[in-house]
Amino acid sequence: MLQQESVLHVLYSMPWDDSQGEECCVARLSHKGNMMPNGTNAVADYLASLPADRREAIAAVRRAILKKLDRDFAEGMLYGMIAYYVPHRLYPAGYHCDPTKPLMFAALASQKNYMSLHMMSLYGSGEQLAWFKQAWAKAGKKLDMGKSCVRFKKLDDVALNVISEAVGRVSARTYIERCEALLKGNTKDSRSGKRLPAKKVAKKAAKPLSRRGKAQGG
């Protein structure tokens, strides 16, 4: 069940002004309490630790995410990556494999041989995944993607507008409902169309996070 919030949305009644850039996005999250206690500094430190070309690319993708990220999500560092997740105050159950961690929605990292954007909202949703692949192709970019991980080596490889749109298509509450349906087995495999048993779904859902703890800065 979703925990009802009593947080006021005063700041978010203001229209989005893209000219204000990343600082405006971060301010909107932090004023609602959607940053981890060390989130702002930790993310800034992570970006500062990257080589210049990686820092430029990761920062640009981060801005694309923040541009349309639902205000109920939070930003911070998790598993060695810049992470976007459902905070415990909204979803106390957290990540089913480790309830002390919040439910991850997306993550951005610099790996040894490439950079990666993990988009868990695409996992298990054939409709969202099909839309994403089609939109990426229309943007004229070559997609290097696993089940939910987009890999890229330079900023020019990335369709930033598609990332923004993909993030904006799924609210935090919709994402929670989808994840709970996956764990209950009330979903179908995006490839075969067959209904997945709950145990298999939980096992598959755990894999994407278990492989992410070794993000590197170079």
In the chain, domain spans? 18-170
Cβ atoms < 10 Å from Cβ of 96 = 16
pLDDT the model gives residue 195: 52
pLDDT the model gives residue 185: 75
CB 73 within 8 Å of CB 84: yes
User: Rounded to an integer, what distance in angstroms lies between the CA atom of residue 56 and that of residue 155?
Assistant: 8
CB 50 within 8 Å of CB 110: yes
CB 122 within 8 Å of CB 129: yes
**What are the structure tokens assigned to 127, written together?**
């409709």
CATH 3.20.20.70 given to domain 18-170: no
Output the pTM of the full model: 0.71
**Spans in the chain with pLDDT lower than 70:** 1-40, 186-218
pLDDT the model gives residue 205: 44
pLDDT the model gives residue 25: 40
The 3 state secondary structure assigned to the chain is CCCCCCCCCCHHHCCCCHHHHHHHHHHHHHHCCCECCCHHHHHHHHHHCCCHHHHHHHHHHHHHHHHHCCCCCEEEEECCEEEEEECCCCCCCCECCECCCCEEEEEEEECCCCEEEEEHHHCCCHHHHHHHHHHHHHCCCCCCECCCEEEECCHHHCCHHHHHHHHHCCCHHHHHHHHHHHHHCCCECCCCCCECCHHHHHHHHHHHHHCCCCCCCC
